[in-house]
Structure 1
């Protein structure tokens, strides 16, 4: 019984049964299949965060006669060259984004792009190495393999820079917030001492305020109490503030 053709394969591709029976309904992970002289490379198009982990396949088929075909872009190895170049452009774009990032949010946005791109690049490099070993006579695969290795190194550096930048930015923000909290504590202490300075007077106003001012002033000991309150406030105000 002939195996059902997966929907992601072009209808015009006459792959051997030994390969078709190894394929599921979806393209799955990046990998290589080498059966009966047919070499099938299943790669992923450069991922984006909005893909929601749904990877779009890029297929490259080497027939026993040496001819290459590709899908969804035609052109065979020329399409493979363009495929790898797309990864190069995306990595370069993320490298520039890291250079421009200043805040943790900006670094996080970069890492949302870099993380899936790093994983896809590593897997692509592994497949290209296997393809090079499966077809040692196809020298063009050497260049593709070498370019994939360079891309893997480049995206790893971008990922490390983004991670280091985020950690530094977070540490810097934490230090700044600590400094603001310290300054706020100093200001709160000043306000508390001002309140302590005026508290005796405020208390006196509350006590004597129920009587007419003329009667309050004539009360025994009124000015002595005012003097003691002011003196107490000055003493509290003059206490050491502590080091900033």
Structure 2
């Protein structure tokens, strides 16, 4: 049982025999007895599983229909206009992107569109080779290439911009980590300098008889200098250990 969309036309049996029953399938061309069938996909979204088909039937006399309707040449131009509109909208998003997350969302939208336009160009190139005398197909082939190339360039720019933002953020985090390490190191140096003094002051500040209660103030300064020298020695040890 055929479940793919049936358009209001009667395709040649040779072409009909090469179509699947459930879908028109990937973008491609089918050429039989002078009849050319061009199967294209509408612009896909990032989460689209199924593809909306645009099917163009070129008859041997040069007349083109689209999805069962006349004016297929106008419909093919409108098909590319739709891709152009998508491209311009995504270029605006690219210009307004500020961080890696914005670029990631843009890339997510660009990837299926870039693949689709690449396949569209390949399909139109095949159509051009099959019907070389058709100048309209030549024009559409060239337009497909331009659109495909523009999507490819925008995708490349978005990937580069995202990589740059990620790298810069990583550098900022490394710089902040280095600053934190440096600050911690300086605190360690201060602690090394003042710890002996604090320890000595604590010991001599206890209400214990240590024999220096009645001594000259000179003893205090001697103890102070000993503590300071010890602290500086500890500082030198900390700094040399850091190196």
Same fold (TM over 0.5): yes
Which sits farther off after the overlay, 91-100 or 70-79?
70-79
Give TM-score scaled by structure 2 length. 0.80
Partner of residue 231, structure 2: 233
Change in CA separation of 1:221 and 1:231 when aligned onto 2, cut-off 3 Å? farther
The alignment status of 1:130 with 2:126, answered yes or no, reads yes
Change in CA separation of 1:27 and 1:191 when aligned onto 2, cut-off 3 Å? farther
Give TM-score scaled by structure 1 length. 0.80
Aligned ranges for residues 207-226 of structure 1 at < 5 Å? 215-216=207-208, 218-220=209-211
Per-residue deviation, residues 186-235 of structure 1 (Å, max 9, x unmatched) = 01112222333443456568778xxxx6724x434696767644553355
Match among 5, 8, 14 for residue 8 of structure 1: 5
| Structure 2 residues not aligned, in runs of 5+ | 214-219
How far apart in 1 are the matches of 2:23 and 2:105?
29
Match among 145, 154, 160 for residue 158 of structure 1: 154
User: How many aligned residue pairs are there?
Assistant: 233
Partner of residue 216, structure 2: none
| Structure 1 residues not aligned, in runs of 5+ | none
Whether contact under 8 Å (1:68, 1:77) holds in the other structure is yes
How far apart in 2 are the matches of 1:173 and 1:84?
38
Change in CA separation of 1:194 and 1:129 when aligned onto 2, cut-off 3 Å? same
Change in CA separation of 1:150 and 1:221 when aligned onto 2, cut-off 3 Å? farther
For the aligned residues, what is the CA RMSD?
3.1
Partner of residue 171, structure 1: 167
What SS does the corresponding residue of 2:56 show, helix, strand or coil?
strand
Change in CA separation of 1:228 and 1:8 when aligned onto 2, cut-off 3 Å? farther
